[in-house]
Amino acid sequence: MNLRDSLNRYYYDTTVADLRQLGRTGGGTLSYNSIMYLDVISYQHQQGGCTLTTLADTLHISRAAATIKVGDLVKLGLVEKTRSQADRRVVYLNVTDMVASALRAYDGPFERAVQLVEARFKKEEIDTFCEILDTFSQEYIKNA
């Protein structure tokens, strides 16, 4: 198997695993698009904060479209809004505790794989792998 085949297989396997996990946990009533929003909101929150503007900019959509989707997720009890203490005009988004717990469950296979890689490979090999992944990430973001 070559690099391209391995990457395609990885993407396929993770997508199918996510969809199967959704079906098992009852999240099957949510669209894959909604799950993607929840993932992005959770990640941006962990990286320092998620607002409607950062969400819209990341997804290259209008603020109005982001507002509508986030409003739907708030109504479903999946996302909560919190006003900034420093600037009351700023509203931060985060997933609810229930969603955070479900996302951690989805991350179980990922965490197990990380542990296996760390146990099986030398630090130098992992560093090289990280550089390779960073190359892919930078190219994806550059053309997004």
The pair of three-digit structure tokens given for residue 66, joined into one six-digit string: 């982001």
Q: Is the dihedral of CA 27, 30, 33, 34 positive or negative?
A: negative
Split at pLDDT 50, 70, 90, the class of 28 is low
- Residues 6 or more apart whose CB falls under 8 angstroms from that of 103 comprise 38, 39, 42, 95
With beta carbons less than 8 A apart as the criterion, state whether 56 and 63 touch.
yes
Q: Please classify residue 93 by burial: count the beta carbons closer than 10 Å to its beta carbon, then call 0-12 exposed, 13-18 middle and 19+ buried.
A: buried
- pLDDT for the residue numbered 12: 85
Contacts by 6-10 with C-beta closer than 8 Å and gap 24+?
7/136
- pLDDT for the residue numbered 20: 74
User: H or E segment at 82?
Assistant: strand 79-83
Separation CA 81–CA 116 (nearest Å):
37
Domains of the chain: 3-106 (1.10.10.10)
Query: How far is it between the farthest Cα atoms of the chain?
Result: 54
- pLDDT for the residue numbered 42: 94
Which tens digits make up the pLDDT trace of 66-81?
999 999 999 999 999 9
With beta carbons less than 8 A apart as the criterion, state whether 102 and 22 touch.
no
- pLDDT for the residue numbered 63: 96
Which tens digits make up the pLDDT trace of 79-132?
999 998 888 889 999 999 988 888 887 778 889 999 999 999 999 999 999 999
Separation CA 94–CA 115 (nearest Å):
27
- Residues 6 or more apart whose CB falls under 8 angstroms from that of 74 comprise 80, 81
- pLDDT for the residue numbered 82: 95
- pLDDT for the residue numbered 65: 96
Evaluate if residue 5 carries a pLDDT over 70. Answer: yes
Split at pLDDT 50, 70, 90, the class of 23 is low
